[in-house]
Amino acid sequence: MKIRIVLILLLSFYFSTSVSAEVPLKAAFIRDHQLWMKEGDQEIQLTTGRYVYSPQWSKDGRFIAYLDGDEQAEKTYLFIYDVKQKESYQPYSTIETKNFQWSPVSNQLAYNAGGVLNVTKTENGRPKGFENVSLGVSDFAWFPSGKEFIVSSQSNLLPTGWEPVHLFKVSVDAKLDSDKIKPFYTIQTNTTDLFAINAEYFKWSSDGKWVSFLATPTASWSNDSNTLCVLSSAGDHFQVIGKMLWYKDWIKWAPTKNQLAYISGEGRFFVENKKTRVADIPILNQQKEYTPKGYVDLDIDWFSPEEVIVARAKENKEWKEGPVPTMFTTLYAINIKSAEQKQISFPKKNELDDKPQVVGSYITWYRKDQHGNQGGVWIKNGLNGSENRWLKHVDSAAVFFDKK
Q: What is the pLDDT of residues 223-274, one digit of tens each?
A: 999 999 999 999 999 999 999 999 999 999 999 999 999 999 999 999 999 9
* Dist CA 48 CA 71 (whole Å): 15
Residue 396 lies in a domain: yes
Residue 98 lies in a domain: no
Provide the 10 A C-beta neighbour count for residue 365: 30
- Quickly state the pLDDT bin for 126 (edges 50, 70, 90): very high
- Quickly state the pLDDT bin for 15 (edges 50, 70, 90): very low
- Quickly state the pLDDT bin for 29 (edges 50, 70, 90): very high
Residue 206 lies in a domain: no
Per-residue pLDDT, 403: 82
Residue 259 lies in a domain: yes
Residue 138 lies in a domain: no
At 335, which CATH number?
2.130.10.10
Geometric angle at alpha carbon 24, from 357 and 11, rounded to 5°:
125
Q: What is the mean pLDDT of residues 286-315?
A: 97
Residue 198 lies in a domain: no
- Best CA proximity match to 288, nearest among 298, 300, 297, 278: 278
CA distances from 203 to 182, 252, 383 (A): 20, 8, 26
Res. 16: pLDDT tops 60:
no
Domain that holds residue 260: 253-404
What's the structural domain count of the chain?
Answer: 1
Per-residue pLDDT, 362: 97
| pLDDT tens-place string over residues 72-115 | 888 999 999 999 999 999 999 989 999 999 999 999 999 999 99
Q: What is the mean pLDDT of residues 350-364?
A: 97
**Phi, psi torsion values for 20, nearest 5 degrees:** -60, -40
Sheet containing 34-39: which strands, arranged edge to edge?
Answer: 42-45, 34-39, 26-31, 399-400
Residue 357 lies in a domain: yes
Please measure the distance between the N-terminal and C-terminal CA atoms of the chain and give it in whole angstroms. Answer: 50
Over the chain, what is the mean pLDDT?
93
